[in-house]
Structure 1
Amino acid sequence: MRLPGRSAGRHQRRPRRLVTALRWALALVAVTAGALALFSPGSSSPTARAEAAPPAPVVVAAPAARTVAAPVRVVIPAIGVDSALTDIGVDAAGALVPPADFTQAGWFAAGPVPGEVGPAVLAGHVDDRSGPAVFFRLEDLTAGDQVLVTDGDGQVHAFTVTRVAAYPKTAFATAEVYGPTAGPELRLITCGGTFDRSRRSYTDNVVVYART
């Protein structure tokens, strides 16, 4: 979902705390608990499984100037992830749409930037018909592991994993994942659980929580 914004060049940059307060004051933290399943045609076995989209945040972004440059790369040493980041959004039904490239992770561009106050969201596929995808080993992360996000200015924002959780897509922890936070935090989302052949998607979502 694309939302109108304001040109940063027409307005003076507000102090960070005010920007954050305005963003959350104007943001509609209303997230759909279910997920819209996306699949690859022809998928028919667990080794040829297709990915389902992570839960769908529907957020009205505040028209405030960014305090941190947009992210361009994510590195997760513990599981061998080193991926460029592409902007992702939601479809007409409000479901978060992962990158078309299964080897690449995406950043939900209507939400906070990694390094700003709030829960920045990165999402990626777990696998496809050919095998493992970018976030295949996401659930292997443990507390203390590092997630490094580089922004467009070359600054590296280091996050430390605090926990890993799995939620049924029918009972997703919407407020916990997408709700406001006191400081900069990160959410990494992919699919998990059992592959449902009838729906051609996974039953769960894996969510990694991290903070600076």
Structure 2
Amino acid sequence: YRVAGWFAAGPAPGETGPAVLAGHVDDRTGPAVFFRLEELTAGDEVRVTGADGQLVTFTVTRVASYPKDAFATAEVYGPTTGAELRLITCGGTFDRSRRSYTDNVVVFATAR
């Protein structure tokens, strides 16, 4: 809950295409790694350090929310012409009966 996970079947941050990192918004004990993700806005800077120590800086272009039953798969995972980043967490209303949030929040960003 304190670490984001990288979708290893896709590009690594800094490579051409959308690097996708997902993380929890919270858990029973409180905030998790992407608790404040929804607060990002266009123009904000996001820095990602890879396992090799390489730092890649991205600029947020937009933040969107999608119902989990209508997730924008092609928009998030589809090909891009440059290095891009997608940060994904839960959002919307928490459904106690399903123990899950209704939406996913996605941050879209491009490499500098």
Counting only pairs closer than 5 Å after superposition, residues 81-100 of structure 1 correspond to structure 2 as: none
Separation of aligned partners in 1, 2:51 and 2:107: 23
**AA in 2 matched with 1:152:** A
Which residue does 2:76 correspond to in 1? 177
**AA in 1 matched with 2:15:** E
Counting only pairs closer than 5 Å after superposition, residues 167-206 of structure 1 correspond to structure 2 as: 167-206=66-105
Which residue does 2:25 correspond to in 1? 126
**AA in 1 matched with 2:101:** Y
**AA in 1 matched with 2:11:** P
- Runs (5+) with no aligned partner, structure 2: none
- Offset at residue 106 of structure 1 (A): 1.2
Which residue does 1:104 correspond to in 2? 3
- Percent sequence identity is 81
- Offset at residue 161 of structure 1 (A): 0.4
Which residue does 1:152 correspond to in 2? 51
TM-score, length-normalised on structure 1? 0.51
Match of 1:162 among 61, 81, 93: 61
Which residue does 1:143 correspond to in 2? 42
Greater helix fraction, Structure 1 or Structure 2: 1
- Runs (5+) with no aligned partner, structure 1: 1-101
Which residue does 1:26 correspond to in 2? none
Separation of aligned partners in 2, 1:152 and 1:198: 38
Equivalent residue of 2:38, what SS?
Answer: helix
- Offset at residue 198 of structure 1 (A): 1.5
Equivalent residue of 1:177, what SS?
Answer: helix
Separation of aligned partners in 2, 1:182 and 1:172: 22
Separation of aligned partners in 1, 2:18 and 2:49: 16
Equivalent residue of 1:175, what SS?
Answer: helix
Between 181-190 and 147-156, report the one with greater CA deviation. 147-156
Equivalent residue of 1:165, what SS?
Answer: strand
Structure 1 stretches of 4+ moved >3 Å = none
Question: In structure 2, do the counterparts of structure 1 residues 127 and 147 end up closer, same or farther at CA, with 3 Å as the change threshold?
Answer: same
- Offset at residue 154 of structure 1 (A): 2.5
Equivalent pairs, count: 111
Separation of aligned partners in 2, 1:192 and 1:142: 16
